[in-house]
Amino acid sequence: MRKICALLLILAVFLYSVGCGPAEDRGPEIVIWHWMSDRHQVFLELAHQYYEKEGVPVSFRLFPHSAYTQRIDAAAAANDLPDLFGILGEKRVLASFAKEGMIENLSPYMEKQDNKWKNRFIEIALKVNSFENNNIYQVEPGIYGVPIDTMSIQFLYNENLLEKAGFNPNTPPNNLQSFITAAKAANNIPGVYGFTSGWGETWMLECLVTNYAFNVMGKDKFIRTIKGDVPYTDSDWVKVFSVFKELREADILAPDIVTMNNKEAEEMFATERAIFTFNGSWGVNTYRQINPNLSYAAMPPPPANSKHKPGIWAGAGSSFVLNAKSHMKKEAIAFLKWLTDEERQEFLTRKTENLPAIKGLGDSVEGSLKVFSQNQELFTHPRLWPVTENSRVIEAINRGIQNIIIGARTPKEVAEEVNRVKQRFID
Amino acid sequence: MNKKEQLVSFSFVFPALVIFSCFYIIPFFYTFWLSLHEASPINVFDLTFVGTQNFKEAFSPPILAGIAGLFGIILIFFALKNKFKKVKRESLAKTIQVTAIAAGITCLFYAGATLIHILKTSLAFTPDPAWWNSVGRSFYITLWALTFQNCLAFLLALAVDRAVRSGQFYRAVFFMLPILGEVVIGLLLRTILRAHPGILNHMLESVGLSGWIQNWLGRDFALTTLAVSHSYRGFGYGFIILLAGLQTIPEQLYEAARIDGANAFYRFTKITVPMLIPVIFLVIILTILGTVQIIGLPMALTRGGPAGQTTVAVYHIYNELQNNYVGYASSLGLILGFILVVLSFSLLKVSKKINN
């Protein structure tokens, strides 16, 4: 026993001395926190390149996506935020950090030399990180985040399966009825479903609901609903919810669609077990890894009517904000400028298969990723809307849609339930 | 004891006191403080004092008033009946008595004021249905755990107790599942139970039982699937405790009973069960506490779906936190904690009564 204790003691002293050994002194470093596990290796490579070039060390620290927000909140409460970090969630979260003076207004840096840095970016990517004059959050107008890539969420179709089902893959369905007809044809192909999507992750549903709300009632009426001027029991909202009833009744949805996560839906589409899917540009990587020969194309959400155009969620995929109290502000800004120059953005696009955040890189967007940069005229994002819906109302909508899909509620019942939640929130 | 000795004694307790305060006492009071606040809709760092609003939302004002009134009456009753006389120091007992009366009067006053407010404003919205439904689901799963899981654990413990030679092996095997963790089991079961391409459905089809194929994670079965999955994962705990309990029963009792001509059933009902009562109650309490607080399994298995049908109480609290309703989530946490404390103490009382 004594020998074991002595051995443990020696081991502890050894580990302690190794742990406390002098680290390589690289001087003060820029610390960046993020959650992007798929991009971490590329970030480390870029940090190395930057150190070689500028002599400024950059340390990227990765945290699990599920714990990232809590980590940032805790650091904010302890006044211990890193120099650069990403903020997940609704715009009000970004607004809260800005209002509390925790993150820097980057407009002065962006607008230097006649907007030289600002003009690099794709407009929508920058807008999602900006606050306009008289914004509802009462945040000082300006740009508070630097986008490093962009994304869009679109309808995708498997070209081979669509052809097998008897349709021309060059002319995909252009309205809800033709979409349903094409998806129904999947029943003739053994083991293939019409449509799949990760609707267990309810924000994917929220995304599609707003796309159709734009289509059925137009953006203005949609915004007026969020403001509380139009009730969710309005006939247009019932029509929006009815889209999901039609999908259910047509029997085109993959089983378990309402508990399926995005990865499972991606796997289903990649292994050619569904003709259509609804997914974001981040899926390109998964599709290529699972099935390099998958042949697919994008199309806008098939409109339910021709009154208005549907929306497509797009914008900044990931952004970094600057800690207003950072001692490395100058260095961090220089690094962000370097990270968003043409060469680095091309490198990021090529290595991570995400859409670039800056203009003029259309040529470096290749193959499958290109389909996600189509239909740009329909691009929108909740962070661009002047108001944000209450999270409980969004939850009620998502749960309601799931209830419609499993046949537990009618669109009208869901509209009434959502309206009840909204009323409670307004009161 | 002189001052120096007192200081030395205190220095031994101090580290434990610091740890206990930091990780138990302060978080409890912080949760209570948070439950009286709410984050602003436009600034998540800005907490506004809302009083009992969060509790009103969870219970609805009339029910909260009723609970407060009842609690007030109980406190005053206990104080007047001098139920605190067990406290050794008389001065402390007196302080507790006076505090209880004061708290009781405050509760009654609050209940009265709320009722007058309700009558004046006809404000009487219903309790938060999503929350109470989630509590209901938690208790549905608990019911499964108390019956199916614990019966299975008991039967296995009895079987293994007879075959003590291979007992260690079974102990290791059955305890493997709880060690694996909720999320691992959840993901594993999800692969098996998914409608397409689920392993279970595939197997049923292969053996010609196509009629048995179901959407196990769908509308009709999701909650029961979750309950059975939880029982499957959790029976190992009960098994280990019950087996340990069985092995403490002296063999001589059985031998004496055998000599007296008692058959197996008689030995089981007259020796095994009575001797195991405290252990059984311990398993029941641990099962309730462990089951009502599950979150990892529904997260991995169904993500709370379909349409929130497997969103259990703690998952609901987690969702509220994710939506930045920090105060409301804290108040729900306190309500759930209170329910569990009351249940546990009631069971302990019953257990003591049966033992006596």
Model confidence over A280-338: pLDDT tens digits?
888 888 888 889 899 998 888 899 988 899 988 887 678 999 999 999 999 999 999 99
User: Is pLDDT above 60 for A183?
Assistant: yes
- Quote the CA–CA distance of A207 and A383 in Å, as a whole number: 12
At position A118, the amino acid (one-letter code) is: K
Q: How confident is the model at residue A182 (pLDDT cuts 50, 70, 90)?
A: very high
ipTM of the complex: 0.78
Burial group, residue A1, by CB count within 10 angstroms (0-12, 13-18, 19+):
exposed
Share of chain B above pLDDT 70, in %: 94
Which positions ≥6 away from A359 have C-beta within 8 Å? A120, A121, A122
CATH class as words, domain B129-355 = mainly alpha
Nearest residue in chain B measured CA to CA from A267: B197
Instruction: Tell me A228's DSSP state.
Output: T
Residue B270 Ramachandran class (φ > 0 left, ψ -120 to 50 alpha, else beta): alpha
- CB proximity B259 to A under 8 Å: no
CB contact under 8 A, B305 and A259: yes
pLDDT at B84: 65
Averaged pLDDT of chain B: 86
- CB proximity B133 to A under 8 Å: no
pLDDT at A352: 83
Cβ neighbour number for residue B246 with a 10 Å cutoff: 19
pLDDT at B323: 81
Q: How confident is the model at residue A9 (pLDDT cuts 50, 70, 90)?
A: low
CB contact under 8 A, A96 and B42: yes
- Unique residue bearing structure tokens 């009558």: B119
Closest CB from B43, B196, B323 relative to A256? B196
pLDDT at A23: 47
Instruction: Tell me A62's DSSP state.
Output: E
Which helix (H) or strand (E) element contains residue A160? helix A159-164
Q: How far is A314 from chain B (nearest CA, A)?
A: 22
Q: How far is A375 from chain B (nearest CA, A)?
A: 31
For the record, the structure tokens of B191 come out as: 């692969």
pLDDT at B172: 80
Q: How confident is the model at residue A78 (pLDDT cuts 50, 70, 90)?
A: confident
pLDDT at A11: 62
The whole model's pTM is what? 0.83
- Quote the CA–CA distance of B240 and B76 in Å, as a whole number: 44
CB contact under 8 A, A406 and B325: no
pLDDT at A22: 46
Q: Calculate the alpha carbon distances from B273 to B138, B247, B258 in Å.
A: 28, 13, 16
Model confidence over B201-251: pLDDT tens digits?
888 888 888 888 888 888 889 999 999 999 998 888 899 999 999 988 998
Q: How far is A63 from chain B (nearest CA, A)?
A: 17
User: Contact at 8 Å (CB) between A247 and A195?
Assistant: yes
CB contact under 8 A, B307 and A407: no
Q: How far is A73 from chain B (nearest CA, A)?
A: 9
Mean pLDDT calculated for residue range A365-382: 78
Share of chain B above pLDDT 90, in %: 33
User: Is pLDDT above 50 for B339?
Assistant: yes
Query: All domains of chain A, ordered by start, with CATH?
Result: 26-149+317-370 (3.40.190.10), 152-314+386-426 (3.40.190.10)
